[in-house]
Amino acid sequence: MSVEQNPEGAQLGAPAEIPDNPQKGMFGITGSGDVSGFGGLVRRRPTSADSPRPFGSYFDEVHDALEEAYPAFADAIEKVVVDRGELTLYIAPERIAEVAQIMRDDESLRFELCSSVSGVDYLASDTRRLHIVYELMSMTYRRRVRLEAAIPAGGSLPSVTSVYPTADWQERETYDMFGVVFTGHPNLTRILMPDDWEGFPQRKDYPLGGVPVEYKGAEIPPPDQRRVYQ
Q: What is the pLDDT along the chain (230 residues), one digit of tens a residue?
A: 444 444 444 455 555 444 444 445 555 555 555 555 544 455 555 557 899 999 999 999 999 999 999 999 999 999 999 998 999 999 999 999 999 999 999 999 999 999 999 999 988 788 999 999 999 999 999 999 999 999 999 999 999 999 999 999 999 999 999 999 999 999 999 999 999 988 998 998 887 766 667 777 777 777 667 665 54
Pairing state between β 86-91 and 77-83: antiparallel
Between CA 28 and CA 229 the distance in angstroms is: 7
Does residue 93 contact residue 149 with C-beta atoms inside 8 Å?
Answer: yes
Our CA angle for 67, 99, 63, nearest 5°, is 30
Does residue 188 contact residue 135 with C-beta atoms inside 8 Å?
Answer: no
> What is the pLDDT, as a whole number, of residue 144?
97
CA separation (Å) from 77 to 5, 63, 89, 108, 215?
A: 60, 10, 7, 18, 54
Between CA 23 and CA 162 the distance in angstroms is: 43
Does residue 169 contact residue 185 with C-beta atoms inside 8 Å?
Answer: no
pTM (2 d.p.): 0.76
Nearest to 87 by CA among 71, 103, 107: 103
The gap from C-alpha 123 to its chain's centroid, in whole angstroms, comes to 11
- H-run or E-run covering 87: strand 86-91
Burial of 206 from C-beta contacts in 10 A (0-12 / 13-18 / 19+): middle
> What is the pLDDT, as a whole number, of residue 38?
47
List, in order of start, the domains of the chain with CATH numbers: 54-199 (3.30.460.80)
> What is the pLDDT, as a whole number, of residue 178?
97
